[in-house]
Structure formats: C-alpha cells, structure tokens
Amino acid sequence: MNLLYCSEEYESQVIGHNMPQTATALASWVKAIQKALEKAGVDSQPLLEQAGLDIQALSNPDARYSLKQTANLWKLAVQKTQDSCFGLKVASQVNQNTFHVLGHSLITSTTLKEMFLRIIRYFRVVTDIPELEFYGQGNNHYFVIHVPDEVQPESIDAFISVFIRSSRALQGSVFSPLRIELRRSEPEDLETFQSILKAPIVFNAPKDMIVFDTATIEQPLEGANPTLTQEYDEIINRYLARFDKENILARVKVKLIEKLSTGDFQQQDVAKSLGLSIRSLQRKLSAENTSYSELLDQTRHELALSYIKNSSHNITEIAYILGFTDVSSFTRAFRRWTDLSPIHYREKYLACS
C-alpha cells in the first residue's frame, strides 16, 4: 500500500530561520517546570521570582515569558535539583493543554508524519525559541531542534521526550524512533534516560535530532479526524494573527480563509480589510519573500488537502469553498499541487485510512 497520500505533501519544512530577539514561550510550559520542581520536593516560588517571572501570569493561558526568563528558570531548576534527567521529568508534566489549541490539533493527525509537519508549521503557538526542521532523506525522516546558546540542554531533553511521548500516545507504546542524537554529554543517570526514551541515544552529537523510519511514521492513526483538524487549524491561524500583529503572513491567511467562499478575496479586498493599501501589502509580503498570489495559492493548497480528507464535502463544494469559479479550475490547480485529480487523491487517502 502506498502511504504517500496519507500525509501532507511537504517533504521538507523549517521554522524560525531568523530567531527573533523577543522569543517567548507560553506560561503553560513554565507551569510544567514548576510542577516538576514541586514533585522533586523543591519550593518553586523563589526560583520563579529569581528568574524574573511574574507568578500571577501562570494562571493566564495566553501569557508568555521571554527567552531570558525561561532560560534562567531552567538553569536555576537544574542547579537546585542536581538532576541530570530533570528535562525528562518536566516532559512528564506536559499534557494536551500545555500546547494550547495546538495540543488538541495534533491528536487529530492522520499520521505521525502529519503531526510533525503540523508541529513545524504551528509550534510558534507554544514557543518561537527553537528553530525546528523536519525533512525526509532516503528511507528516514529527521526532526532537528536548533536553539540559542543560552538554552539549557535539559530543555532539549524535555522537547525530545514530549515529541516521543506524543508519538507513542497516538501510535502505541511500542513506537520508537530509529535513534536520538543529543549535543549534550552523557548524563550521570543514563539508565533513566534509556528507560524513558526507549531508543538508541547518541551523546555529544553535532545536532539535537530524532531520526524516524519514514514507513513507520506514515502509518495511518486510529484517532485521525480531518474535520476537527481543519477546525483547529483555523483557530490556530486566528490565534497567531492576534498574537503577532506584525505577522503579515498569518494575518493575510486568516483573511483568505474568511473570504475565499464569499468571493471577496481579491488583493484590494484583503488589503482594505487589514487597513492597508495594496502597495503597502505588496511591500510587506515582498519583505517576507512571497507575494499575494503565492500566499493565495499556498492557502488554497493547504485547505484543499484538509477538505479533501473530509468525505462530507463533495468536490464541487470544495471548489466553491476555496473560491474557484468552477470545478475544472479547481481540478487543474489540484493536479498542479499533487499530480492527482481531487477524486483520485481522495480515493488514495481513503484506501490507506
């Protein structure tokens, strides 16, 4: 069975090439660190205060802390606990709500490959501190984490563990990557590392990375729900547009999602709805190395793949929702994106679901 069509069509994606100086992380991530400290018998409040964190913000699901503050807390927590496996302990305190709406979106993915592609695309919801990379090469897929120098290695341990735990929650407890590579030195408590991660680990590696067998992460997942995925992704795009008003790409995509089915998605209509002139919008998009037509095509492509997996929408309805004048125009565009007709793509997808 060819599983290519069970996953998204982007074979290589990277997020955060130019890491912002104002990088932040959700307060819920800090809450996981706090819980791990308390479980270790450490009073967390003095450490949070010493790290410069506003403790009251922990009760706000939308609150965010700066890179400097979170890096300070990680350093203080590791020093206080003297636990070389503290990052893994933090990962055990992470739940679906820690990742905001993204956590709910991930569990509806059709494959683990799709889940990691969604992490790449939307992880800014959780934090824009790491630069994430996911690509296929040969029979394997590689998930790479790049972080600033001030980030503690234990935080990388936590990220790695969270992603593997998420994979096992969706595909089964026996799931294991081919190997894990970490830049950090071998921990004192190697046995705990091995018992939790349950995969070959290479320390003192050039990169922090998880290596997967492509065929394994392309296996269909029982909990897949394309309808919910589509709804969650729309919520995520609205959140990102609100969270970062300077993120012109997210703002335009949200407007396109709103306007495609109405037919009012011409460049002048979208520019006006954003309070911009066409020239200003063009300039902002050019600064992001894209154009309105490219962003329109990308948005339609992403939505088309999402809608086509939902059998409650027929092809004519999808063409209308995406703002095409007729089904033949939609079919031509879909063939350009996937080399398949919408009907053939849906048949392939349903066959491997």
User: Which three-class secondary structure state does DSSP give residue 325?
Assistant: coil
pLDDT category, 5, cuts 50, 70, 90? very low
Q: Identity (one letter) of the amino acid at 127?
A: T
Residue 149 clears pLDDT 90, i.e. is over it? no
Mean model confidence pLDDT for the chain: 87
User: Which residues are bridge partners to 15 per DSSP?
Assistant: 132
Q: How do residues 241-264 score in pLDDT, each as one tens digit?
A: 776 666 788 788 888 888 888 888
> For residues 291 and 296, what is the distance between their CA atoms, to the nearest angstrom?
9
Handedness of CA 106, 110, 116, 121 (dihedral sign): negative
Whether the CB-CB separation of 159 and 99 falls below 8 Å is answered with: no
> For residues 123 and 103, what is the distance between their CA atoms, to the nearest angstrom?
10
> For residues 100 and 25, what is the distance between their CA atoms, to the nearest angstrom?
11
Beta-strand pair 131-137/140-146: antiparallel
Ranking 5-9, 105-109, 194-198 by mean pLDDT, the lowest is 5-9
> For residues 139 and 3, what is the distance between their CA atoms, to the nearest angstrom?
13
Residue 73 clears pLDDT 60, i.e. is over it? yes
Handedness of CA 224, 227, 232, 238 (dihedral sign): positive
Across 56-77, average pLDDT: 89
Q: Which is nearest to 203 in space by CA: 190, 217, 214?
A: 190
pLDDT category, 8, cuts 50, 70, 90? very low
Across 187-200, average pLDDT: 94
* Helix 226-243 and helix 112-122, axial crossing angle in degrees, nearest 10: 10
Whether the CB-CB separation of 184 and 157 falls below 8 Å is answered with: yes
> For residues 60 and 49, what is the distance between their CA atoms, to the nearest angstrom?
17
Whether the CB-CB separation of 18 and 125 falls below 8 Å is answered with: no
pLDDT at 110: 93
